[in-house]
Amino acid sequence: MNIYLIGFMGVGKSTVAKELSKKLDYKLIDTDDEIVAREGRSISDIFRKKGEEYFRSLERELIEKLSADDNLIVSCGGGIIKSDDNIDNMRASGHVILLDASPEVIYTRVKDNNTRPLLRKNPGINGIKKLLEERRPMYDRAFTHKVDANRSVKQVADDIIGILNV
């Protein structure tokens, strides 16, 4: 079984995934990092030069490959749930944990970071609220477990370990 961490940008998927991989004997994969390494350019550059659709096709290819593997902790890009194939592949191969945080908490965590093209397009707390609203049904369809991510990394990681009993 794999453990997939999903949720909006800035909810803490990458840091919680690192903490979990330290505590459990699972290999850590970050989908954004994999894509950046494969393409040899940043996420912003991929969006700018090749477009969002191309980026989403790389995500789909990657999730299909990872879902054939075992004992991975996968920190997923926030838009991974925009593909039903990704939702199906993740649910068929592991636990899908939604990290859920309020728009206010997300905003304080992302406001000084300029690396996310979709937040540049949807700026400020209103942009976050709008995207969150659009995505809420997709996140809800995707998760097998949901955790409150308005708390510290350690609390969230401990919560997940408790829920999964691993």
Q: Which residues bind ligand S3P (CB under 6 A)?
A: 9, 13, 32, 43, 77-79, 116-118
Q: Which CB, 9 or 149, lies closer to ligand S3P?
A: 9
**Closer Cβ to ligand S3P, 48 or 162, answer by number:** 48
Distance between CA atoms of residues 156 and 152, nearest Å: 6
Nearest distance from C-beta of residue 63 to ligand S3P, angstroms? 12
d(CA 53, CA 58): 9
Please say which residue, 54 or 70, places its beta carbon nearer to ligand S3P: 54
Strands (E), the chain: 2-6, 27-30, 72-75, 94-100, 145-148
Query: Maximum CA pair distance of the chain?
Result: 43
Between CA 23 and CA 32 the distance in angstroms is: 22
Q: Give the shortest CB-65-to-ligand S3P separation in angstroms.
A: 17
Residue 41 beta carbon to ligand S3P: minimum distance, rounded to whole angstroms:
13
Nearer Cβ to ligand S3P (59/159): 59
Closest CB to ligand S3P among residues 44, 162: 44
- Shortest Cβ distance from residue 165 to ligand S3P (Å)? 27
What's the closest the beta carbon of residue 13 comes to ligand S3P, in angstroms? Answer: 6
CA distances for 136 relative to 6, 47, 130, angstroms? 12, 23, 10
Q: How many CB atoms lie within 10 A of CB 83?
A: 18
